Amino acid sequence: MNAIVWENNKLRLLDQTKLPGTIEYIDCNDYRTVGEAIKRLSVRGAPAIGAAAAYGLVVGAQQIEASDRKNFLEKLEAIAGELGATRPTAVNLRWALDRMMMRLTTATEQNIVELKKIMLEEAHAIYNEDVESNRSMGEYGQELLPEGARVLTHCNAGALATAGYGTALGVIRAAHEKGKKVSVYADETRPLLQGARLTSWEMVQEGIPVTLITDNMAGYLMSKKMIDCVVVGADRITANGDVANKIGTYGVAVLANHHNIPFYVAAPLSTIDMTLSTGEKIPIEERDPKEVTHHGGQPMAPDGVQVWNPAFDVTPNSLVQAIITEKGVVLPPYTENLAKICNKKQED
């Protein structure tokens, strides 16, 4: 099931808010539809958001009427600004838009029609590179999983959260493909249940044994020695190895550390933000209180109650045993080793 589809010169996004009950695609005829899909989590997961935004910029370019290159780029920059403001935490969103704009501003082509073709080629490249990096990440990461590993994961970092295959779930998929007989425990992931609705669904589709638990069961599960390792994705990783991921990840990391269980993070290098020194500087998105007070449109809390609803939390690097990337597994000290692997990526 592809979360992002480009066909017949049009963008279609799988509406993940409807899963697993309904498979429905959103036809994105203008860039604002793309932005709204990103904002309301119809498309979600840092790599998928980046790829969707790249195609969203292509859709926006199709709507632009401009007399010359300069005017075209100015209007496109404004569209990129709107798309980039939809979700502040996932760095892949801004990374993809910046890459698209850089490709255009460095191109010598003056013809607007040709510039639009260049944009589509670059969006395809971002999409295809993400699939390739996920598979490479899976190959590196599966080496960390022992035979018969029982893996806890949080939120959804699978094919639905990427252009394809997945980051954390990509590691699990790769181990499954190697015949390691891995099994998964999936946190439900409150308040939007990405683990229950999406991760469980992906694992069932793949034929990988999966057990769904509520978020507050993880600690007891670990105490019963039923978990061998934790693998999660990331929305942003800072230069020192601090990790922003779906709210609840920090608590899982603390529990894993207490029980001496390895805690691994799987993310492409595009998720690493070398401009931020620590996780304290990551902007954390806060979302609609109704995501907490309501479920399926039905109220679960009294009117007037105050709500704090951060979409992400930050796990300090001291709780992370390894960061799995498409260029290899990065170990502490992260400040030194993340810089090395990011520099290697630029050289390549």
Q: Which residue numbers are catalytic?
A: 235
Beta-bridged to residue 151, according to DSSP, are 184, 229
Q: Given the DSSP bridges, would you call strands 322-325 and 263-266 parallel, antiparallel or unpaired?
A: parallel
Supply the DSSP string of 236-288, one letter for each residue. Answer: EEETT--EEEETTHHHHHHHHHHTT--EEEE--GGGEETT-SSGGGS---B--
Answer for the pair 286, 222: CB distance below 8 angstroms, yes or no: no
In whole angstroms, give the CA distance from residue 35 to residue 339.
Answer: 32
In whole angstroms, give the CA distance from residue 257 to residue 321.
Answer: 9
Beta-bridged to residue 323, according to DSSP, are 265, 330
DSSP 297: T
Beta-bridged to residue 6, according to DSSP, are 11
In whole angstroms, give the CA distance from residue 182 to residue 324.
Answer: 18
> Could you tell me where the beta strands, DSSP code E, fall in 164-221?
183-187, 210-213
Please tell me whether residue 11 adopts helix, strand or coil conformation: strand
The token duo for 93 is 């969103």
For residue 66, the Cα-to-chain-centroid distance in whole angstroms is 34
Stated length of the chain: 348
CA Rg value for the chain? 20
Q: Given the DSSP bridges, would you call strands 272-273 and 236-238 parallel, antiparallel or unpaired?
A: parallel
Return the closest-CA partner of residue 84 out of 38, 130, 122, 128. 38
Answer for the pair 121, 306: CB distance below 8 angstroms, yes or no: no
